[in-house]
Amino acid sequence: MDGETTPGGATPGEASPPAEQGAPARHPSRKTVLRAALAASVAAPAVLMGVPALARTAGTAGGTPELTPECDDGDDPTPPQMEGPYFKPNSPRRTSLLDPGTPGTRLTVTGYVFGLACRPVANTLLDFWQADVNGAYDNTGFRFRGHQYTDAGGAFTLTTIVPGLYPGRTRHIHVKVQAPGRPVLTTQLYFPGEPRNSTDSLFDPRLLMTVRDAGGAREAAFDFVLNVPQTPGPSPTGGPTTPPPGGSWAAGTSYAAGARVTYGGAAYVCLQNHLAQPGWEPPAVPALWRAV
């Protein structure tokens, strides 16, 4: 990767070492809650903005435990992956990789870019490239290649197709991510439930997108966490929360994906495993609950 450039002209730096694979599911992190609040275009509740790290590292001499980084609650920096042979610099700036009549299943990928304090990073470069529906890369032009920048809230949206398969690899999308003035993260995004995930030596479950069908198309979500130092958000207020306005949802309950609850006269289905906490009621966190 020496000498490699991105549309922003940056040279990739050394990425953080990946964390241990196969970690069990955790309850929602500050990042998850912030993502939900940003997606709802409202500020995250003050009681959630300062959720502390969940783990501590004991001192080697048995002294005072050292706090883990503010965002190290299961959201370690996104692990890097190899660039592969098909990257091309100077891709066009665009959020849609589709042309009129492009064959393939439409795919919309949305997400956010966060730093180490789980705060969104604006104006982050994301350069995507992928195979077409037949598993081929365009090495002469820029089909299924393009870069964009996150908005003021750290959000991005990519419109493309589900990439095709080619020998030796499972389905994936390549991406380079670079916060302003920071090194480039080169990595790949994967699709859940793919048979080749178990045979692809590069596959990393930490890079799985959340994907769902959407009327003949597919919708995916993935949030990047970059090794970008940030000032932690406000401390929690510790104030009381309002009791749920009736229903089966209850704080302190461990919900599994697919579980159904009622809250305020409406029904919801759980989107990911988590331990319910005050402030995470279904209407407030669309990343965890979907109305049905």
CATH code assigned at 179: 2.60.130.10
Full strand arrangement of the beta sheet holding 185-190: 145-149, 125-129, 172-178, 185-190
Q: How many CB atoms lie within 10 A of CB 279?
A: 18
Domain presence at residue 87: no
Please indicate, yes or no, whether residues 124 and 179 belong to a single structural domain of this protein: yes
Task: Residue 174: name the closest of 56, 50, 89 by CA.
Answer: 89
Domain presence at residue 97: no
Cβ-based neighbours of 33, under 8 Å, separated by 6 or more: 44, 48, 51, 279, 280, 285, 287
Please indicate, yes or no, whether residues 219 and 256 belong to a single structural domain of this protein: no
Q: What local confidence, expressed as pLDDT, does residue 33 receive?
A: 59
Please indicate, yes or no, whether residues 279 and 172 belong to a single structural domain of this protein: no
Domain presence at residue 86: no
Cβ-based neighbours of 93, under 8 Å, separated by 6 or more: 7, 146, 147, 148
Q: What local confidence, expressed as pLDDT, does residue 39 receive?
A: 57
Paired strand residues for 126: 148, 177
Q: What local confidence, expressed as pLDDT, does residue 274 receive?
A: 78
Domain presence at residue 191: yes
Please indicate, yes or no, whether residues 126 and 216 belong to a single structural domain of this protein: yes
Distance CA(169)–CA(166), nearest Å, equals 6
Q: How many CB atoms lie within 10 A of CB 107?
A: 23
Number of folded domains that form the chain: 2
Q: How many CB atoms lie within 10 A of CB 205?
A: 11
Paired strand residues for 268: 261, 291
Domain final position from 199, 225, 251: 225
Please indicate, yes or no, whether residues 181 and 134 belong to a single structural domain of this protein: yes
Task: Find out whether 257 and 271 touch, Cβ atoms under 8 Å.
Answer: yes
Task: Residue 123: name the closest of 84, 201, 179 by CA.
Answer: 179
Q: Which domain holds residue 35?
A: 25-47+241-292
Task: Find out whether 36 and 43 touch, Cβ atoms under 8 Å.
Answer: no
pLDDT tens per residue across all 292 residues of the chain: 333 344 444 433 333 334 334 444 444 555 565 666 665 544 333 333 333 222 223 333 444 444 333 444 445 899 999 999 999 999 999 999 999 899 999 999 999 999 998 899 999 999 999 999 999 999 999 999 999 999 999 999 999 999 999 999 999 999 999 999 999 999 999 999 999 999 999 999 999 999 999 999 999 999 999 999 987 754 444 444 444 467 888 887 888 889 999 888 889 898 888 777 777 788 877 778 888 8
Q: What local confidence, expressed as pLDDT, does residue 57 receive?
A: 30
Task: Supply the CATH number for residue 271's domain.
Answer: 2.10.10.20
Domain presence at residue 82: no
Domain presence at residue 197: yes
Q: What are phi and psi of 129, to 5 degrees?
A: -150, 150
Please indicate, yes or no, whether residues 121 and 220 belong to a single structural domain of this protein: yes
Please indicate, yes or no, whether residues 213 and 125 belong to a single structural domain of this protein: yes
